[in-house]
Amino acid sequence: MISNAKKKSDGADRQETTADAFLGGRIEVVQNKAGHRAGSDAVFLAAAVPARSGESVLDAGAGAGTAGLCVLARVPETHVTAVEIDGTQCALAKTNAVRNGFEARFRAIAADLTAPSKVLSEAGLIREGYGHVMANPPFYAEGSVRVAPDASRAAAHVMPQGELERWVRFLATMTAPKGTLTLIHRAGELGNVLEALKDRFGDLAIFPLFPKPGTAAGRIIVRGRKNSRAGLRVLPGLVLHEAGGAYTKEAEAILRGGAALSLDAPRD
């Protein structure tokens, strides 16, 4: 990811931003320099979404739109709807879609995904309207970490008690019949993720991301299919960095080359 700091004026306020290159420069994302910022997690999440040309994708908690734009860059003729509670981030997502020439295939909606279904419908979200849904929810349970002073960063990183269940309920409601969910989270939260997905998504694939060889997984990508009764698979996963710190060639292929990340390994 290449970053260039810039100043952006919004009325009387001056918000410092960076223009960050993803996928080896295929897309450029303007993000606030302070607060929540997208990085490699968004790229790996997008790479694992099994969308095909012409299909629709919903990105929940989209931030400035990075993951959705990565999907659009990788898969021709896909359409992405991004839902984000933070109005400033939602505005950046719209700007970034235009910046990268994807405005015809990208829609950003400012909404609280835990709101009542009527409110979400009025905002433009379509029940069972998306073949694929993806999410990078806040990673830390309320009370487990010190809350950041920046409100946007705090909201993006800390999940109130019981909120993961509400996120998954929203994702299940929005997923089309037999559609897929792709989610990235901390590896230590796998048990809570599986509990939230229970009775909603099956055919679950667990894909660990290992920081370096011989280390425990730091992240897990979980993919499932709505209402499937198929069982769970734990895949070999991916090592992100060589012992010396450089990205592995497999990670580079995704982060720089825009390759897909397959979770469709054959069962034993």
The pLDDT tens digits for 57-70 are 999 999 999 999 99
pLDDT of 161 reads 65
User: What mean pLDDT is predicted for residues 154-158?
Assistant: 48
pTM: 0.87
Q: Please give the C-alpha separations between residue 121 and each of 79, 167, 208, in angstroms, as whole numbers.
A: 18, 16, 35
The HSE-up count of residue 83 (CA atoms within 13 Å, CB side) is: 25
Residue 268 pLDDT greater than 70, yes or no:
no
User: Where do the structural domains in the chain lie, given as residue ranges?
Assistant: 36-255
pLDDT of 147 reads 45
Instruction: Report the DSSP beta bridge partners of residue 81.
Output: 58, 107
Residue 266 pLDDT greater than 80, yes or no:
no
pLDDT of 107 reads 97
CATH of domain 36-255: 3.40.50.150
Q: Quick one: pLDDT band at residue 33, thresholds 50, 70, 90?
A: confident
Residue 92 pLDDT greater than 80, yes or no:
yes
User: What mean pLDDT is predicted for residues 68-87?
Assistant: 97
From CA 52, how far away is CA 72, in angstroms rounded?
A: 10
DSSP strand pairing (13-22 vs 27-32): antiparallel
The neighbour count for residue 89, using CB atoms within 10 Å, is 25
From CA 56, how far away is CA 81, in angstroms rounded?
A: 8
Q: Please give the C-alpha separations between residue 188 and each of 10, 119, 136, in angstroms, as whole numbers.
A: 39, 33, 15
